[in-house]
Amino acid sequence: MKNLLTPTLVLSLLVAACGGDAPDAEMPADDGMMMSEQPIGTVTILQPANNGDVTGTTVAVRLSVAGFPIVEAGNMTPGTGHHHLYLDADVSNVTTPVPTVPGSIVHMGNGASEYTFENVSVGPHRLIAVVADGAHVPLQPLVVDTVVFTVH
């Protein structure tokens, strides 16, 4: 009888200990991960307007951010960034520095919030604004906005 009680008691204690603590221990880690997935703020393309029309081949871009400051490229202060624009180009590897492609991918490393594209062809276009750190690597999670517009 003594041999039966000891394994039963040990098994009961193990089940109680494992069953009670495991779910509670995992939940805060999941909740914490979800909260850290939020971007530090937002970027908004104010001009050109989404689904808007632009007359002429000069396209003025105005950007706005909320939740963090825009600084010059090279400034690696956490919680800051600067603008990059993609005109009719796809955002590719977001873990490496944004490339420069004249007329298509533009670095706004001077901390500006306005840029003008010249000689944009007539027709539909897509513009993506991406905020990156001082080394031109997009912030994670991404701080991005996209608009489409038509040049007439």
Our count of domains for the chain comes to 2
Q: Are residues 67 and 85 in the same domain?
A: yes
pLDDT in tens, 69-125: 999 999 999 999 999 999 999 998 999 999 999 999 999 999 999 999 999 999 999
Q: Are residues 127 and 57 in the same domain?
A: yes
Contacts of 150 (CB under 8 A, 6+ apart): 52, 53, 54, 123, 124, 125
The length of the chain, given as a count of residues:
152
Q: Please state the pTM of the whole predicted model.
A: 0.76
Check: CB of residue 82 under 8 Å from CB of residue 132. yes
Q: Are residues 9 and 52 in the same domain?
A: no
Q: Are residues 77 and 109 in the same domain?
A: yes
Q: Are residues 29 and 46 in the same domain?
A: no
pLDDT at 65: 98
The per-residue DSSP string of 3-22 comes to HHHHHHHHHHHHHHHHHHHH
Characterize the bridge pairing of strands 42-47 and 59-66: antiparallel
Which domain covers residue 76, as residue numbers? Answer: 42-151
Report the CATH number at residue 142.
2.60.40.10
